C-alpha cells in the first residue's frame, strides 16, 4: 500500500513568533512547507529546526511584492493550504506608517487571497486580531461586534478588519481573530513587545517591571501551542474535533481563552514564576491602550469543539523556562 503524500502548505511570516511554531507543526505532521518571510535567512533564528528538514523551503520576500503564491508554487507545485501571517505587527509602528500598514495588512492580503482562489487552494487562513474591535466596551467580545462602523484605534486594527471582512464576504477563507498570544520565541526586545515576554525577561534578569497605568487593565492571554492547534484545525490539517473530519473553515472566529487576567496579577505571577525579587514600578498609561479585552470563544468552540488545553500558569512557567534557556 502506498501512502499519498501530504499537500504542501504556504506560510507567510514563517520566521516570526507564531509563524515559526506553525511551520514546525506543519512539518511535524508531514506537510512540506514553503515559508515566506522578509527577514534574510541568516536572521531567521526561529527556524533552526525547520532548516534541518528537507521538506522546508525558505523564500526571502516582501509580501508587498505580489505573486507570492506563484513564486512558491515554482518550488512546490502542490500548495493547497495557505496560512497568511506576514504583516506589520506593531500597532505603534502602524500609527506612524498608515500607508505601508494598509498595503501590507490589507492590499497584500487581498492579492494573495485572489491568487489562492484562482489556483484552487483548499484553505486560506488569515491572522486576524482583537484590535479589529477597537475599544468596544461590550465584553466578552463577539465576532459580530466589529462592523464597518467600528472605529479601530490604529491603521493596524483597520487593515486587519478589512482583511477579515474579505474572508467573510468572499465566502472563501477564514480569519482567526487572536487575542494576546504568549510563549517561547516571542521577541521581548522592542518597547511594544508583548507584555509577558517583557516581564519574564526583566524578572529573569533581576530587573524591575514597569506597569503602564494602574495595572487594573485586563487581557485574554492564550498560549502559543493552543494557537497553533487552532490553526491546524481551521486549515483542515487536523480533524475538526466536533465533526471528526479535516476540513478548512470559512468565516471569522475569535481565538482566545475567554478568561482574563489583570496586568497587576500578571506582574506578580511573572516575578513568582521566575523566582525573582524584582520591584514593580508604575509609569503613565500608554496612549491608546485598551482597558479590558476578553474574547467570546463560543463560536469557535461550537464550530470545532476546540477549547484551550494549556492553563495560564503552566504556559507562563514553560515560557520562563524557555527564556532562561536562551540567556
Chain positions contacting ligand UD2, by CB under 6 A: 91, 129-131, 180-181, 192, 194-195, 198, 210-212, 217, 219, 263, 286, 289-290, 293
Cβ neighbors of 93 (< 8 A, separation 6 or more) are: 101, 156, 192
In angstroms, give the least distance from the CB of 211 to ligand UD2: 4
CB nearer to ligand UD2: give 122 or 264.
Answer: 264
Triad 246, 252, 229: Cα angle to 5°: 45
Cβ neighbors of 115 (< 8 A, separation 6 or more) are: 66, 67, 68, 69, 70
In angstroms, give the least distance from the CB of 268 to ligand UD2: 13
In angstroms, give the least distance from the CB of 168 to ligand UD2: 19
DSSP 8-state secondary structure symbol assigned to residue 104: I
> CA-CA distances (angstroms) from residue 192 to 82, 141, 200, 209, 289?
28, 23, 15, 14, 12
Task: List the end-to-end C-alpha distance of the chain, in Å, as a whole number.
Answer: 48
In angstroms, give the least distance from the CB of 166 to ligand UD2: 18
In angstroms, give the least distance from the CB of 281 to ligand UD2: 10
CB nearer to ligand UD2: give 47 or 181.
Answer: 181
CB nearer to ligand UD2: give 131 or 232.
Answer: 131
CB nearer to ligand UD2: give 172 or 322.
Answer: 322
Cell 524578572 maps to which residue? 203
DSSP 8-state secondary structure symbol assigned to residue 141: B
> CA-CA distances (angstroms) from residue 326 to 200, 318, 320?
12, 13, 10
In angstroms, give the least distance from the CB of 261 to ligand UD2: 10
Backbone phi and psi for residue 45, each to the nearest 5 degrees, phi listed first: -65, -25
Query: Is the CB of residue 283 less than 8 Å from the CB of residue 210?
Result: yes
Cell 487593565 maps to which residue? 217
Triad 93, 98, 100: Cα angle to 5°: 85
CB nearer to ligand UD2: give 116 or 273.
Answer: 273
CB nearer to ligand UD2: give 172 or 212.
Answer: 212
Backbone phi and psi for residue 159, each to the nearest 5 degrees, phi listed first: -65, -40
In angstroms, give the least distance from the CB of 285 to ligand UD2: 7
CB nearer to ligand UD2: give 35 or 194.
Answer: 194
CB nearer to ligand UD2: give 10 or 266.
Answer: 266
In angstroms, give the least distance from the CB of 301 to ligand UD2: 21
Amino acid at each position: 500500500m502506498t501512502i499519498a503524500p501530504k499537500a504542501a502548505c504556504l506560510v507567510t511570516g514563517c520566521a516570526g513568533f507564531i509563524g515559526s511554531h506553525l511551520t514546525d507543526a506543519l512539518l511535524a505532521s508531514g506537510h512540506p512547507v514553503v515559508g515566506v518571510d522578509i527577514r534574510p535567512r541568516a536572521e531567521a533564528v526561529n527556524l533552526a529546526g525547520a532548516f534541518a528538514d528537507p521538506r522546508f523551503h525558505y523564500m526571502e520576500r516582501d509580501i508587498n511584492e505580489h505573486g507570492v503564491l506563484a513564486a512558491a508554487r515554482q518550488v512546490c507545485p502542490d500548495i493547497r493550504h495557505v496560512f497568511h501571517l506576514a504583516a506589520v505587527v506593531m500597532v505603534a509602528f502602524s500609527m506612524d506608517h498608515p500607508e505601508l500598514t494598509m498595503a501590507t495588512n490589507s492590499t497584500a492580503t487581498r492579492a494573495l487571497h485572489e491568487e489562492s482562489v484562482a489556483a484552487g487552494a483548499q484553505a486560506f487562513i488569515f491572522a486576524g486580531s482583537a484590535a479589529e474591535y477597537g475599544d468596544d466596551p461590550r465584553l466578552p467580545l463577539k465576532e459580530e461586534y466589529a462592523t464597518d462602523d467600528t472605529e479601530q484605534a490604529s491603521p493596524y486594527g483597520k487593515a486587519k478588519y478589512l482583511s477579515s471582512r474579505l474572508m467573510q464576504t468572499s465566502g472563501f477563507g477564514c480569519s482567526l481573530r487572536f487575542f494576546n498570544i504568549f510563549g517561547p520565541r516571542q521577541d521581548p526586545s522592542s518597547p511594544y513587545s508583548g507584555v509577558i515576554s517583557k516581564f519574564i525577561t526583566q524578572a529573569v534578569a533581576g530587573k524591575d517591571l514597569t506597569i503602564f497605568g494602574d495595572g487594573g487593565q485586563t487581557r485574554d492571554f492564550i498560549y502559543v501551542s493552543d494557537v497553533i492547534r487552532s490553526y491546524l484545525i481551521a486549515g483542515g490539517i487536523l480533524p475538526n474535533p466536533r465533526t471528526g473530519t479535516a476540513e478548512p473553515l470559512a468565516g471569522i472566529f475569535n481565538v482566545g481563552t475567554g478568561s482574563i487576567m489583570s496586568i497587576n496579577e500578571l506582574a506578580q505571577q511573572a516575578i513568582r514564576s521566575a523566582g525573582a525579587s524584582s520591584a514593580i514600578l508604575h509609569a503613565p498609561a500608554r496612549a491608546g491602550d485598551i482597558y479590558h479585552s476578553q474574547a467570546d470563544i463560543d463560536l469557535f468552540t461550537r464550530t470545532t469543539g476546540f477549547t484551550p488545553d494549556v492553563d495560564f500558569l503552566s504556559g507562563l512557567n514553560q515560557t520562563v523556562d524557555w527564556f532562561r534557556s536562551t540567556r
